[in-house]
Amino acid sequence: MQESRLFKILYYLLERGGATAPELAKRFEVSVRTIYRDMDALSSAGIPIYAEAGRNGGIHLMKDFVLDKALLSEEEKQEVLAALESINVTQGKDESQILQKLSALFQLGSENWLEVDFSRWGHRESDNEKLELLKSAVIRRRMVKLSYAGTSGSLTERTVQPYRLAYKARAWYLKAFCTKRQELRTFKLCRILDVEILKEGFPYRSFPEQEEASEEDYPEIVLRFPGEMAYRVYDEFDRTQVARQENGDLVASAHMPVDEWLTGFLLSFGTQVEILSPAFLREAVAGEAKLIWEKYQISADVDKT
């Protein structure tokens, strides 16, 4: 297994004393933007790395920084190893050599304390393969052909320029420029059924950051659950959003967008949830439940004939 690029950059800077971002980008065959992202990753791992502007500027490590046991305390060494362990895990790779080398330099053992698996139950191989393909396309700036299941129920073919993979609310998303719509779009990975990396490349363009919606943008949803549903309630709501009643019931309050997803989410609790407010949501869920009942009632009548 190849060494992590992060460790190579660290070793290169230790050996050379410094380098420019274009120099590092050329040496490691990545973009300058990727080099700056690597700097952020190393910095978050406790490595004192910085960029300096000007004629003699570039990327440097702090002057007195050496990977020597006399420099860092035992606790600091453990923190560096733990941070690098978490970076490797969340990248989805087993980059064990970087930890082995730093552990040897620090004369400390690195415990495998963190395990993260972003794949769905029963879909580890296919989900991870899809993620790796898209990550490769993003890094190499290659166009991608997708088969995508949209919210309208349609299955469409899309050719996109992939810019970023994002993980939010327990789901992976691909942020890309859709050539069909001629605009930047966000695709949910679980709805991407097929991925084909094309030979055609594309120029980089910035992907605008989306502003997080504030609580005031959504109505407050108040729900009541019986105490035995605690295992699901705390799966979905933060403990600060949940109040336990004297009879053991749980009342959850949260600002949420009212859409088809919310209706389906509430129906998934069956009779184990009561919508206290707003009234229009209670009516909407009741209406959907009635349609479901009528559908299966008709099916039952047909089966009897």
Strands 183-188 and 274-277: unpaired
Quote the pLDDT of residue 260: 84
The 3-state secondary structure of 3-67, one letter per residue? CCHHHHHHHHHHHHCCECHHHHHHHHCCCHHHHHHHHHHHHHCCCCEEEECCCCCEEEECCCCCC
Greatest C-alpha distance within the chain = 87
Which secondary structure element, helix H or strand E, spans residue 105, and what is its range? helix 96-106
pLDDT digits (tens, 9 = 90+) for 253-301: 999 888 888 999 999 999 999 999 999 999 999 999 999 998 888 666 6
Which residues, 6+ apart, have CB-to-CB distance to 244 below 8 Å? Answer: 227, 250
Which residues, 6+ apart, have CB-to-CB distance to 90 below 8 Å? Answer: 116
Quote the pLDDT of residue 91: 52
A 10 A CB-CB count for 211 gives: 6
pLDDT digits (tens, 9 = 90+) for 51-105: 887 776 788 887 666 555 444 566 666 666 666 555 555 554 555 555 555 555 5
Most confident of 41-55, 161-175, 210-224: 161-175
- Residue 259: DSSP 8-state: S
Strands 274-277 and 155-168: unpaired
Angle value at C-alpha 81, between 35 and 101, nearest 5 degrees: 80
The residue among 57, 22, 64, 61 whose CA lies nearest residue 45 is: 61
Quote the pLDDT of residue 199: 92
Quote the pLDDT of residue 302: 60
SS3 227: helix
List the end-to-end C-alpha distance of the chain, in Å, as a whole number. Answer: 65
**Cut 0.85: pTM above it:** no
**Lookup: tokens for 253:** 């309050």
> What percentage of residues in the chain have a pLDDT greater than 70?
71
- The amino acid at residue 20 is T
Query: What distance in Å separates the CA atoms of residue 114 and residue 218, rounded to the nearest whole number?
Result: 35
Query: What distance in Å separates the CA atoms of residue 88 and residue 280, rounded to the nearest whole number?
Result: 47
Quote the pLDDT of residue 69: 42
pLDDT digits (tens, 9 = 90+) for 212-261: 666 677 899 999 999 999 999 998 898 999 999 999 999 999 998 888 88
Quote the pLDDT of residue 62: 75
- 173 or 90: which leads in pLDDT: 173
- Is residue 134 over pLDDT 50? yes
